[in-house]
Amino acid sequence: MLLQLSTWSEVETYLSQSQGIILPIGSTEQHGPTGLIGTDAICAEVISKGVGESVGALVGPTINVGMALHHTGFPGTISLRPSTMIQVIRDYIVCLTRSGFTKFFFINGHGGNIATLKAAFSETYAHLADLNIANGGLVKCKVGNWFMCSSVYKLAKELYGDGEGSHATPSEVALTQYVYPEAIKVAPLSEDVASGYPIYGAANFRYRYPDGRMGSNPALATPEHGKQFYELALKELSNSYLQFVNSD
């Protein structure tokens, strides 16, 4: 059930049965010479929809832009500053808590979002305690990172070994190929790919990782792999959601 395709009275009915909601969060950032800029949002969205369908949960609109400041040296990247993103997440949760939701399950497509999401949750819990909104004290937030699901991780290692890398990975590229086969990109990829440098500011990132990849070989990706990743993530995050929403 998609929030965007529901009416407010359907949401009211839903709330009488469940207070859980899935919020897909991605990023709009470079993903190397062949990866789509929307990769993280696309992956989070498709998996969220799948999980929502599988467990009967409401799925909110995708947060397409996240914390990707270190990628802003590449054209097309858009990022919130962490201080902005904290306010955004707070606004989402406060509004939905007023509606009656108390369990917020963020399905996340971008490692760079995790720290700021956690900071935002802490800020929001404290803010809700200040406000004394009805049920504010019951609010719980959880991040489910599809790319960190153990089954996903295991398959990626099997299929790609070291070529999985840590950004613009074949696993995420494969998933976007499965979702958008019409947008599979081909571009020359140097065999040598930078890896192992810590992440600092945007200029340094581009200097260290000149084509945007971090140790990955996205040429290994296939749409069929993408389907496999999709199914694994779907299963694992569905379980995770159910456990979360059913815990007291």
**How far is the C-alpha of 80 from the C-alpha of 29, rounded, in Å?**
11
If binding is defined by CB under 8 A, does position 125 make contact with its own copies?
yes
Q: What is each CA distance from 28 to 47, 122, 144, 191, 219, in whole angstroms?
A: 17, 24, 19, 26, 21
If binding is defined by CB under 8 A, does position 126 make contact with its own copies?
yes
**How far is the C-alpha of 65 from the C-alpha of 69, rounded, in Å?**
11
If binding is defined by CB under 8 A, does position 88 make contact with its own copies?
yes
Query: What is the gyration radius of the CA atoms in the chain, in angstroms?
Result: 18
If binding is defined by CB under 8 A, does position 49 make contact with its own copies?
no
Between 172 and 232, name the residue whose CB sits nearer to its own copies: 172
Between 171 and 177, name the residue whose CB sits nearer to its own copies: 177
Among 43, 128, 174, 237, binds its own copies (CB under 8 A): 128
If binding is defined by CB under 8 A, does position 234 make contact with its own copies?
no
Between 120 and 155, name the residue whose CB sits nearer to its own copies: 120
Between 94 and 153, name the residue whose CB sits nearer to its own copies: 94
Torsion angle of the four alpha carbons 31, 183, 155, 112, in this order, in degrees rounded to the nearest 10? 30
The three-class DSSP label of residue 43 is helix
If binding is defined by CB under 8 A, does position 150 make contact with its own copies?
no
Between 63 and 237, name the residue whose CB sits nearer to its own copies: 63
CB of 165 to its own copies, least distance (A): 16
Q: How many residues at the interface with its own copies, by CB under 8 A?
A: 88
Cβ contacts of residue 53 below 8 Å, gap of 6+?
A: none
Per the listing, tokens 């899935």 go with 22
